[in-house]
Structure 1
């Protein structure tokens, strides 16, 4: 199990990434008004990036691997749900820089998503 903690420790800061992405978008504040559809598209991108990280960090299959995969999948659901709630509450209807949104929509990894959140 300690190996699992080590492998997924880089995934834990994802919650902070979500907050930074939202703050980054609002701070950029010009260009495009965020819609529910934009929130959904970023959520789907986040989900794909998370799944790629799971694939890279997944332990070998077996009982421990199955339990770990289940835990990672439930975390994925929670993160995407949290993103959607926060995006709809804090971002929908606000103006953001198109390049910030394009960065999030073009990201293919959690690392790239994190870079989008940096000022």
Structure 2
């Protein structure tokens, strides 16, 4: 069940990234490598928080599942950083959406950042 939840959450995260990239390509400030890094770290923190929320109440997730979920979080941050540097660095982005992504603490909040 936890692994199924992991895949579902991973899919939602990938969808979030696909929504975020075009939404950020608006007018505003020029995004830097540092901005990419900060958003990637924020996405990783959000992922870890979502994993904690999905853990069974009053118990820890099995060690193997925890390892898989944590590595997915690391991969999410790493993939974001790579895509951001490749596709967004040096381009104009919406300051409001960038700030929204940095402040987001849940996947739902990340989805909200890409909405008009």
Match of 2:75 in 1: 78
1:118 and 2:83 correspond:
no
Q: Which of residues 23, 34, 38 in structure 1 aligns to 2:35?
A: 38
**In structure 1, what is the Cα distance between the partners aligned to 2:30 and 2:70?**
31
How do residues 12-31 of structure 1 correspond to structure 2 at under 5 angstroms? 12-26=11-25, 29-31=26-28
Q: Which of residues 2, 5, 8 in structure 2 aligns to 1:4?
A: 2
Structure 1 residue 96: Cα displacement: 1.1
Q: Which runs of 5+ in 1 are unaligned?
A: none
TM-score (norm. length: structure 2): 0.88
Q: Is the 8 A contact 1:49 1:109 kept in 2?
A: yes
Q: Is the 8 A contact 2:10 2:72 kept in 1?
A: no
**How many positions carry a matched residue from both structures?**
113
**In structure 1, what is the Cα distance between the partners aligned to 2:68 and 2:10?**
12
State the secondary structure of the residue aligned to 1:101.
helix
**In structure 2, what is the Cα distance between the partners aligned to 1:47 and 1:6?**
19
Q: Is the 8 A contact 1:58 1:65 kept in 2?
A: no
Q: Deviations over 1:43-84 (max 9, x none)?
A: 1110110010011112433xx711110110111111111100
Q: Aligned-residue CA RMSD in angstroms?
A: 1.6
Structure 1 residue 4: Cα displacement: 1.4
State which drifts further: 71-80 or 8-17: 8-17
